[in-house]
């Protein structure tokens, strides 16, 4: 498992224990020992915050409280409203977990469900608003994934 794949799992799932993370890695078809995982996490700068593993440079605010409202601007724009001062953290998080590599299969879970946001072309953040540019025809799909992700 590459570091990028490992960081994607940490960024998109709430992992509280190394044994759970190790099981998740195995469910994705990769072999790794607990000691190897522990060393890799330390070298990559992964840490725990409020009992959950977070990637280096992750926003330090609660992700579930970031999105206050979502507006659509068809055909390919979403406008995400945040509390004042939080738009950059949200845009960073979206960009961080987005996979814009069309040849990548590393963002699939054990049910072949996409755990990233490949629908995102890019984001632009203001103080309390994030403009999300989507790929053609994927506006509604992305909106639903964002809603599910931030439940």
Q: State pLDDT tens for residues 11-68.
A: 778 788 999 999 999 999 999 999 999 999 988 888 887 678 887 766 555 555 678 8
Which one is the CATH code of 63-149: 3.30.390.50, 3.30.1360.40, 1.10.150.170, 2.50.20.10? 3.30.1360.40
Instruction: CATH 1.10.10.10 in the chain: give the residue spans.
Output: 3-54
How many residues are there in the chain?
A: 151
Q: State pLDDT tens for residues 14-26.
A: 788 999 999 999 9
How many other CB atoms sit within 10 Å of the CB of residue 10?
A: 22
Give CATH for domain 3-54: 1.10.10.10
What phi, psi does 84 have (nearest 5°)? -55, 135
Instruction: CATH 3.30.1360.40 in the chain: give the residue spans.
Output: 63-149
Task: Determine the Cα angle at 114 with ends 38 and 91, to 5°.
Answer: 80
Cα–Cα distance between 18 and 42 in angstroms, integer? Answer: 12
Give me the helices (H) in the chain, please.
3-12, 18-27, 34-44, 87-97, 139-149
């Amino acid at each position: 498992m590459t570091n990028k794949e490992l960081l994607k799992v940490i960024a998109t799932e709430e992992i509280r224990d190394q044994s759970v993370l190790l099981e998740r890695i195995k469910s994705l078809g990769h072999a790794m020992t607990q000691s190897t995982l522990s060393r890799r996490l330390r070298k990559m700068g992964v840490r725990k915050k409020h009992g959950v593993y977070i990637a280096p440079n992750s926003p330090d605010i609660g992700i579930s409280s970031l999105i206050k409202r979502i507006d659509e601007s068809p055909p390919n724009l979403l406008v995400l409203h945040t509390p004042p001062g939080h738009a950059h953290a949200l845009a960073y998080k979206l960009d961080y977990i987005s996979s814009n590599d069309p040849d990548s299969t590393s963002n699939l879970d054990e049910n072949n469900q996409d755990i990233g946001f490949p629908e995102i072309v890019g984001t632009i953040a203001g103080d309390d608003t994030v403009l999300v540019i989507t790929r053609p025809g994927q506006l509604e799909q992305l909106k639903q994934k964002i809603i599910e992700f931030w439940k």
